[in-house]
């Protein structure tokens, strides 16, 4: 089996830190998992990328008060 952290081959049966090859890799994986959890709120919304900003500027009046609505794309 390959260690999911360092990708090294090792005997799963002889490992005391399954499914990792060593305690070190197990700690590394845990650290990565925690990092991803902390950064979850910053995951970009895929739908935002599908909204062309040029279209927004052409159809909406140039008014800073409208910016709050621009940040929330419509369901259309
Ligand atoms: Zn490893």
Taking the centre of ligand 1 as the mean of its atom positions, its distance from the CA of residue 43, in whole angstroms, is 28
pLDDT in tens, 6-59: 999 999 888 889 999 999 999 999 998 888 776 656 556 667 666 666 665 556
- pTM exceeds 0.75: no
How remote is the CA of residue 14 from the centroid of ligand 1, in Å? 13
| Cα(4) to centroid(ligand 1), Å | 7
- What are the domain boundaries of the chain? 12-42
Question: Rg of the chain over CA atoms, in angstroms?
Answer: 23
Q: What is the pLDDT of residue 65?
A: 60
- Ligand 1 centroid, distance to 17 Cα (angstroms): 10
């Amino acid at each position: 089996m390959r260690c999911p952290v360092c990708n090294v081959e090792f005997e799963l049966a002889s490992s005391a830190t399954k499914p990792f090859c060593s305690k070190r890799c197990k700690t590394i994986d845990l650290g990565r998992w925690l990092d991803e959890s902390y950064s979850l709120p910053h995951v970009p919304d895929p739908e935002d990328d599908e909204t062309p900003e040029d279209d927004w500027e052409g159809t909406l009046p140039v008014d800073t008060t409208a910016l709050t609505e621009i940040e929330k794309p419509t369901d259309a």
